[in-house]
């Protein structure tokens, strides 16, 4: 069980450097214990601290290892806000990355999303949210259809949003000294605050 979060140790990067490329099974096994202690356990501690600050973040998972080497090289975690609506964190050699995502949706969610985008009130609200996130240097992406759905006019004023079958906002938080200190909790909370309006919109309009 992870203790309180105090930052990722410098040694976390040393472990991840050993796992670059296509590490053999013997290299993975050699690194397993240190990776668990220096890379994965700090992520668990960070998520516990976030949940202590706000109970809305207490449904979280921190990934274990899988066969593909990518899972050894990147430590991921998600905070579930509703079905298929999540805040994700990833720690790797580039530092820490955050994303807010509505993805892998069921058809009912896609239908509800399109309806909310098409309505002036909620649609304009999401447009403003996305614009503000881009101003804050978030990359806003998703799975897009080639065309606007047939139930909506091709020249709809929110045609781009209507094409979305998922919505993801991503930003690297960096690899600075704060990553090795308690300050990382506040950095992540600030980024969660950036995403809060988008995530709240999605929970209100897309939750099933």
Q: What's the pLDDT tens digit per position in 138-193?
A: 999 999 999 999 999 999 999 999 999 999 999 999 999 999 999 999 999 999 99
- Work out how many domains the chain is built from and give that number: 1
Please report whether residue 3 resides in a domain.
Answer: no
CATH number at residue 107: 3.30.930.20
Q: What is the DSSP string of the chain?
A: ---S-----THHHHHHHHT-SS--HHHHHHHHHHHIIIIIHHHHHHHHHHHHH-GGG--EEE----SSTHHHH-EEEEEEEETTEEEEEEEETTEEEEEEEE-S--HHHHHHHHHHHHSHHHHHHHHHHHHHHHHTT-EEE--B-SS--TTS-TT-TTHHHHTBSSEEEEEEEE-SGGGGSTHHHHHHHHHHHHHHHHHHHHHHHH--
Domain span at 91: 11-206
Q: What's the pLDDT tens digit per position in 68-119?
A: 999 999 999 999 999 999 999 999 999 999 999 999 999 999 999 999 999 9
Q: What's the pTM value of the predicted model, to 2 decimals?
A: 0.94
Please report whether residue 5 resides in a domain.
Answer: no
Q: What average pLDDT does the structure give for the chain?
A: 96
Please report whether residue 171 resides in a domain.
Answer: yes
């Amino acid at each position: 069980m992870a203790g309180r979060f105090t930052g990722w140790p410098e040694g976390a990067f040393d472990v991840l450097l050993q796992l670059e490329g296509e590490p053999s099974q013997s290299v993975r096994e050699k690194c397993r214990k240190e990776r668990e202690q220096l890379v994965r356990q700090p992520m668990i501690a960070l998520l516990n601290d976030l949940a202590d600050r706000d109970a809305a973040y207490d449904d979280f998972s921190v990934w274990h290892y899988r066969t593909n080497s990518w899972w050894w090289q990147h430590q991921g975690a998600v905070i579930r806000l509703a079905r298929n609506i999540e805040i994700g964190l990833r720690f790797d050699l580039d530092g820490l990355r955050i994303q807010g995502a509505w993805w892998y949706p069921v058809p009912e969610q896609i239908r509800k999303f399109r309806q909310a985008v098409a309505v002036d009130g909620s649609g304009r609200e999401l447009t403003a949210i996305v614009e503000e996130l881009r101003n804050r240097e978030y990359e806003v992406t998703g799975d897009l259809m080639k065309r606007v759905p047939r139930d909506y006019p091709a020249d709809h004023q929110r045609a781009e949003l209507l094409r979305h079958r998922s919505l993801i906002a991503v930003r690297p938080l960096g690899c600075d000294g704060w990553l090795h200190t308690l300050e990382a909790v506040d950095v992540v909370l600030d980024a969660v605050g950036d995403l809060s309006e988008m995530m709240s919109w999605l929970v209100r309009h897309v939750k099933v």
